Chain A
């Protein structure tokens, strides 16, 4: 089943074509990796999907409905969540608050509810707290809910960001270099965790990643971008041996020989 379908998506910054008529289909409950050299347009691709940028041309259908032109806050409601390449937590809020904000889309109370102490609001808040605590436990951060996000070590900040993204209970999770800056052990944990999310939570994951070990090990399908164009797509094994891909990463074969 196709969860996300992107057709002819083009994004320009002035004269620069960051994404050039991309066609990508993401199947449900898979781990779909996007790789490519620096500046290939991977993060721009994420930003277009989540409403930060509006693509000039093309169509994005999520579960069959177009999401092009929706603002980021509407897109979360559709069931898409993301993490960031450079971790972007709410630094001066506690871990619990960070995750509870992730749950924002499932809460309804407005201005008067909390002031009047309505029963529905109190119930909702209790539920939000419960969900958030469960998620912190899920990422193995129980007991640290009252610490400020900025005080966590790097690895835990990544996990906290993941928990915050999960709190919106997304169907599609966009991870932007989740293993950046991690040692092999932490990387392995993260890989297990990502697979666990696909298998146990049934979340579809689109992954931008630079570590080939990660990509080749956990991806169900890999898409390669270069200069905003898709240059290859296929199973990890196929990509590994694809000539165009190797050229994009290492330069053309002739040039490589001459070195």
Chain B
């Protein structure tokens, strides 16, 4: 490939992809609606930050994909790509100002143009956009040329700032709730009412760099010291680590306040769901898109047994819970039997149908006398723990935490067992697994049943937390959310489920502007993940295992 070709293929074309991406987020109104929130107070609104990130990222990818080793070509590609990306936005502003395109694109408002041009009217604004694009490209080009260490430092420091800005609604209340002199001071030092202070931004970046440099310098010594410890002491260190984690999780809701605890319970319920589906999809490789069915069954069983509205069985939560889980497991087996022979896409479609069947049954007039139809079932009492009424989200949090602990424990134990290996063998190659003596029927049904049981547990807690159940709470999107969070977290990875749930469920609750674009962002995130990090945010350890033989092939290709 000649240099000119590379400039066209990597610089211009990839830049155009970036340009289209930025156009989309501008035209759907994301830049504008995220513009009300600042990452850095008064300087950098979140919407603009998103556009900048895309611009820099695309320029970086353009340079990275350049097959020509010469740094000058890479640098040129980054600059071109950044410039082309911004060119699309400049064009949008130029056209949008002269013609009315709002009939087609609702998001193309004067406010958007103002946000993009920082309020500069006329050609000056357009030149500003192009200049910023150029700067982004140059910045990405510099990143490419830099050595590994400074590049990582800069990227991660910027990411730290972005995350701190993104999570301000999470961090500020924590500072406030402590109400010590120190925390109040820190809170004011870092944050304004909206966004980071300039001083806080710089400080955060500096602190990050210092910590990571310190870690880099001492990493090896710390690791070897840990390895050289006698086995007993190492175990003690580990136990201590778990103890700290446990204490942290237990005291967490105490300084989170009502709203954040509520968010935490939602994330927790999705973690429970994710852990269950992780067994079905992650371990056994059975793509189940009707997972919400078991969640619904768990909820409705608890509702029917505990609510006085339709029947008055008069069960309390603890009596209803095991019944809900057992019925969930039964439903899992019953769904499993007809789809035993199905694989891949067909299985996904069949299970998708099952999820809808349950929702429609619940909604139907036919079953209304028992299930309440569209009105659902209300007046579900809160769980009562040894005479203590669990009313607030902070209380339910502990219930969910206990559930998660139990499910994580079961998942870990099962994974490293005969059954877990059978699941994974089945995922890898069903025929060969059977030829190894694995009974496919039993193994599949165990996977469906275990997943369904966890889901029903989550549903049971959900019902008693909300206090009422409606058919529309159990729509397809729950299944899709859970599948997404597993994929984004890392298929088959337990920490991945937690991270995935926190990112996909927690963030939208914290950023309410987000809610409108939820599905859009999920779609974009899935595509981006598949392209850039197919193993997920926190993949299972095995995916990172590198092998000696692998190094050899790498050196061969390099030679």
A binding-site residues for B, Cβ under 8 Å:
50-52, 71-73, 76-77, 82, 84, 88, 90-94, 97, 100-102, 104-105, 107-111, 113-115, 117, 121, 124-125, 128, 144, 146-148, 151-153, 156, 164, 168
A170–B433 Cα distance when bound, in Å, is 16
Q: Are B417 and A125 in contact (CB under 8 A)?
A: yes
* Interchain Cβ contacts under 8 Å between A and B, 29 examples: A71-B434, A73-B437, A73-B438, A84-B432, A88-B431, A88-B432, A90-B432, A92-B424, A92-B428, A92-B542, A93-B424, A97-B424, A101-B425, A102-B436, A104-B422, A104-B437, A107-B418, A111-B414, A114-B419, A115-B410, A115-B414, A117-B413, A125-B416, A128-B418, A147-B547, A147-B548, A147-B549, A153-B549, A156-B549
Q: Are A76 and B425 in contact (CB under 8 A)?
A: no
Cross-chain pair count, CB within 8 angstroms: 114
For residue B103, CB closer than 8 A to chain A, the reply is: no
CB-CB < 8 A to A146: which residues of B?
Answer: 545
Q: Are B436 and A148 in contact (CB under 8 A)?
A: no
Q: Are A148 and B547 in contact (CB under 8 A)?
A: yes
Q: Determine which residue in B414, B417, B440 has the highest number of CB atoms from chain A within 10 A of its CB, and name it.
A: B417
CB-CB < 8 A to B416: which residues of A?
Answer: 114, 125
Q: Are A90 and B437 in contact (CB under 8 A)?
A: no
CB-CB < 8 A to B413: which residues of A?
Answer: 114-115, 117
CB-CB < 8 A to B446: which residues of A?
Answer: 111
Q: Are B421 and A76 in contact (CB under 8 A)?
A: no
Partner of B438, one of A104, A115, A153: A104
A111–B449 Cα distance when bound, in Å, is 11
A50–B436 Cα distance when bound, in Å, is 10
Give the distance to chain B from A198, nearest Cβ to Cβ, in Å.
22
A97–B433 Cα distance when bound, in Å, is 12
Interface residues on B, range: 35 or more
Q: Are B550 and A76 in contact (CB under 8 A)?
A: no
For residue B239, CB closer than 8 A to chain A, the reply is: no
Give the distance to chain A from B546, nearest Cβ to Cβ, in Å.
8
Chain B: which residue is nearest A116 at the CB level? B413
Known: A91-B428, A92-B428, A107-B418. A101 touches B433 (CB 8 A): yes
CB-CB < 8 A to B435: which residues of A?
Answer: 50-52, 72-73, 76, 82
Partner of B417, one of A90, A109, A164: A109
CB-CB < 8 A to A101: which residues of B?
Answer: 421-422, 425, 433, 436, 438
B binding-site residues for A, Cβ under 8 Å:
409-410, 413-414, 416-422, 424-425, 428-429, 431-440, 446, 450, 542-543, 545-550, 552
Q: Are B438 and A114 in contact (CB under 8 A)?
A: no
A203–B283 Cα distance when bound, in Å, is 34
CB-CB < 8 A to A124: which residues of B?
Answer: 418
Not counting A92-B543, A104-B436, A105-B436, a sample of 12 additional A-B residue pairs whose C-beta atoms are within 8 angstroms of each other reads: A93-B421, A100-B421, A101-B422, A101-B433, A104-B422, A111-B450, A114-B413, A114-B414, A115-B409, A148-B547, A152-B549, A153-B552
CB-CB < 8 A to B431: which residues of A?
Answer: 52, 72, 88
Known: A114-B416, A148-B547. A104 touches B432 (CB 8 A): no
CB-CB < 8 A to A104: which residues of B?
Answer: 418, 421-422, 425, 436-438
Q: Are A73 and B440 in contact (CB under 8 A)?
A: yes
A107–B422 Cα distance when bound, in Å, is 11
CB-CB < 8 A to A117: which residues of B?
Answer: 413
Q: Are B545 and A94 in contact (CB under 8 A)?
A: yes
Chain B: which residue is nearest A143 at the CB level? B548
CB-CB < 8 A to A102: which residues of B?
Answer: 436
A100–B421 Cα distance when bound, in Å, is 8
Q: Are B417 and A76 in contact (CB under 8 A)?
A: no
Q: Are A90 and B425 in contact (CB under 8 A)?
A: yes
Give the distance to chain A from B155, nearest Cβ to Cβ, in Å.
29
Partner of B436, one of A76, A108, A110, A153: A76
CB-CB < 8 A to B440: which residues of A?
Answer: 73
CB-CB < 8 A to A71: which residues of B?
Answer: 434
A100–B438 Cα distance when bound, in Å, is 12
Known: A111-B446, A114-B416. A73 touches B439 (CB 8 A): yes
Q: Determine which residue in A51, A52, A104, A148 has the highest number of CB atoms from chain B within 10 A of its CB, and name it.
A: A104
Chain A: which residue is nearest B431 at the CB level? A52
